[in-house]
Structure 1
Amino acid sequence: MNGSKILGVIFIGIGLGAIARLDRGTLLTCNRGGLGNCQHVTLTGLESKTQQIPLARLQGAKVDVKQVPKSSDRLKRSDPMYRVVLLTPEGEIPFTRYYTGDRAAKEVLAQKINIFLENSSAESLNVEQRDRARIYLLGGLFIGIGATILGIRN
């Protein structure tokens, strides 16, 4: 295998690795049947973490705001970043471990959770936040570069 083929395979490997390792998301599933329970699942790369929350302990959801300084800004301005937190008597449970800039999407997500909690006739709730677009774009870029390198040399 010559050097350019090795380079192409490396780029494809980096792209596939980025997709597999960096894919992340969070799911919240609540059911009123039986004891009433919510399952909060956090997906990070190849791992998942599940937390059980009794429905009676879930009081609501809100959007948490964090000011993140711009690293290249000499005036030390900051941008707001957002995430949803679940409210319980024990404190706040972050819906995701990370903040993003899409406030509107976070408001909609918190509203869906709150509407379910306020509407006792709703049997179940399934909400999720997946951040695949940027990961797939990055991974696809590396895969495309690798495939191009392999295609040029064949």
Structure 2
Amino acid sequence: MNRRSFTGFTLDPDQLILGGIGLLFVLVGIGLLFIFGTKVTLECDRSRPPAGMCTLRTTSMFSSREYDFAIAELQRAVVDVSYGEDGDTYRVVLVTNSGNVALTGYYSSGSSAKEKAADQINAFLKYDSQQTVFVSLDDRIFSSIMAGLFSGIGALMLFFAVLKTIQFNQNREVEAVD
């Protein structure tokens, strides 16, 4: 076996690889929360001075930001599609006088929720009698589940790598006493 010992501590390359992969899984899980764990809300109110305003609020697990703009800036909402080999992904984009504003910085599966959100926004713009619109897209639950799976599997891999290393060292000490 190819093991190296440093003053009573033995490194097994197999356990080092298992622990490294486990750590990588934990980091990927945390990264998923940072990147995809967001809730986006768009709230427009025609009675809000001056002359009707919209607030686009993005809330992640660790931060929140708001962007206010006039309803008059908003032309329509569209569903942007990214075509891929593994399937299509979607996001809602607001078409404004200043350019396009994506509700999320990423594409995700599930076109129906995105189409429903775009339809709500477009109906609000079409019918002046509708005073408010509130649209919410929340990816926090799905990303939390995925992050939990990745981090949990990684933590288990790390745990078993350390446990096996400790057991190996205990067995080695027992052999040395005999």
TM-score, normalised on structure 1?
0.69
Stretches (4+) displaced over 4 A: 16-22, 139-146
In structure 2, C-alpha distance between the alignment counterparts of 1:82 and 1:18, rounded to whole Å: 21
Does residue 1:132 correspond to 2:140, yes or no? yes
The CA deviation at 1:128 is 0.8
In structure 1, C-alpha distance between the alignment counterparts of 2:56 and 2:112, rounded to whole Å: 22
Contact 1:63–1:85 (Cα < 8 Å) also in 2: yes
Q: Match of 1:25?
A: 39
Give ranges in structure 2 of 5+ residues lacking alignment: 1-25, 160-178
2:65 partner letter? K
In structure 2, C-alpha distance between the alignment counterparts of 1:55 and 1:114, rounded to whole Å: 12
Q: Match of 1:62?
A: 78
SS in structure 1 of the partner of residue 83 of structure 2: strand
**Alpha-carbon RMSD:** 2.9
Q: Match of 1:51?
A: 67
Q: Match of 2:120?
A: 112
Higher strand share: 1
The CA deviation at 1:26 is 0.7
2:137 partner letter? Q
In structure 2, C-alpha distance between the alignment counterparts of 1:62 and 1:107, rounded to whole Å: 8
TM-score, normalised on structure 2?
0.61
The alpha-carbon distance between structure 1 residues 38 and 140, as it changes in their structure 2 partners (threshold 3 A), is same
The CA deviation at 1:135 is 2.4
Contact 1:84–1:94 (Cα < 8 Å) also in 2: yes
Contact 2:33–2:144 (Cα < 8 Å) also in 1: no
The alpha-carbon distance between structure 1 residues 68 and 19, as it changes in their structure 2 partners (threshold 3 A), is closer
Contact 1:18–1:138 (Cα < 8 Å) also in 2: no
Higher helix share: 2
SS in structure 2 of the partner of residue 68 of structure 1: coil
In structure 2, C-alpha distance between the alignment counterparts of 1:145 and 1:68, rounded to whole Å: 28
Larger Rg: 2
In structure 1, C-alpha distance between the alignment counterparts of 2:71 and 2:78, rounded to whole Å: 16
Give ranges in structure 1 of 5+ residues lacking alignment: 1-13, 71-78, 150-154
The CA deviation at 1:68 is 3.0
The alpha-carbon distance between structure 1 residues 112 and 134, as it changes in their structure 2 partners (threshold 3 A), is same
